Amino acid sequence: MAPSTLSRVAKALIAPALALGATAGLASAPASAAVWSSCDQWGSTTLNGYTLYNDVWGSGAGSQCIWANSGTNWGVWADHPNTGGIKSYPNAKKVINKSIGSMGSLSSSYNVTVPSSGAYETAYDIWDTGHKYEIMLWVNKTGAVGPLGTSQGTVTLGGSTWTVYKGNNGSNDVFSFVRGSNSGSGTVNILPILKWIKDTKGWFGDVTIGDLQFGFEITSSAGGLNFTVNSETTSSS
């Protein structure tokens, strides 16, 4: 589980395995703990109600391996070059499938260990079932990263103060909430944020929330960096 263990094992074994076109398996994982690991670009598995994705989707990406002890305790070792553009979004997904108006609560708690270098953010990525709307909640960020769109000012919701950005990526509208200060752990009351978008701003109607993802959107991590979700739970009613 320790980052130092992951780094030593990954540096020794991941690169040769990838050079051979193989999956490094436990090379990316804590040596004695992980129940699943993958160095495949699209590697995924489901553990205790969460679906984990390695999700190396951006151009110019380097090596990345994901490991998991459970759906809520997992991490990645990533070595992406110091260039612009998002390289990956390793994440754990929980399916909600409830309309905003029908929910009495939607919240999530997180505890992460992230590097002090590189360029990335730790973020929730929330989608409606029609994939017309994307809501991102950035709880911490490091390096040259920034949200899509233009600033809509600040708002205090869900237990934090956020700067809100509104944009469109050509496929869907994106509403990004960037926390005013970096946080490695905490609880986000998500439902009031969704209701603010729906009722106060009118940016969408009573949409059904489908996928709720949590992970690391990585732009660069040259030399190999460790990102760990120590715990993360999502609940709704």
Give the chain's mean pLDDT.
89
pLDDT of residue 227 exceeding 60, the answer is: yes
Residue 102, number of CB atoms within 10 A of its CB: 11
Q: Global pTM?
A: 0.87
Instruction: Give the per-residue pLDDT at 226.
Output: 98
Residue 16 DSSP SS3: helix
**pLDDT, mean of residues 63-68:** 98
Q: What pLDDT, in 10s, does the model give residues 69-113?
A: 999 999 999 999 999 999 999 999 999 999 999 999 999 999 999
The structural architecture, per CATH, of the domain 3-232 is Sandwich (2.60)
**pLDDT-above-90 percentage for the chain:** 86
E strands, the chain, in order? 36-38, 44-47, 50-53, 63-70, 73-79, 91-99, 106-113, 119-128, 133-142, 150-157, 160-168, 173-179, 185-189, 208-220, 225-236
Between 21-35, 45-59, 171-185, the lowest mean confidence (pLDDT) is in 21-35
Give CA separation, 157 vs 107, 133, 154, 180, 224, in Å.
12, 19, 10, 12, 35
Instruction: Give the per-residue pLDDT at 30.
Output: 54
Contact 209, 105 (CB under 8 A): no
Which is more confidently placed, 22 or 92? 92
Which is more confidently placed, 25 or 227? 227
Q: What pLDDT, in 10s, does the model give residues 141-163?
A: 999 999 999 999 999 999 999 99
